[in-house]
Amino acid sequence: MSATDKHEEARNLTEKALDQLELGNESQAETLIEKAKKLDPSGAAELVADLDEDAATAKARVPN
């Protein structure tokens, strides 16, 4: 598996982990996050950073 493939798979696993958290499956989410980190820690971190950026942008658009 190439570095690019590992990076994308880590992002995908992190997304699945977030879905599991939303469903209340914390242990499954933790397992997926650990797999993502082992595969490519930067892929998991990048997804979280993207989500933070999206949340900040959305918050900035909400009128007070």
Each residue's pLDDT tens digit, 6-63 = 999 999 999 999 999 999 999 999 999 999 999 999 998 998 888 888 777 777 776 7
pLDDT at 62: 67
Q: Which residues form the domain of 10?
A: 3-61
Tokens found for residue 60:
């900035």
Total structural domains within the chain: 1
CA 55, CA 49: separation in Å to the nearest integer?
Answer: 10
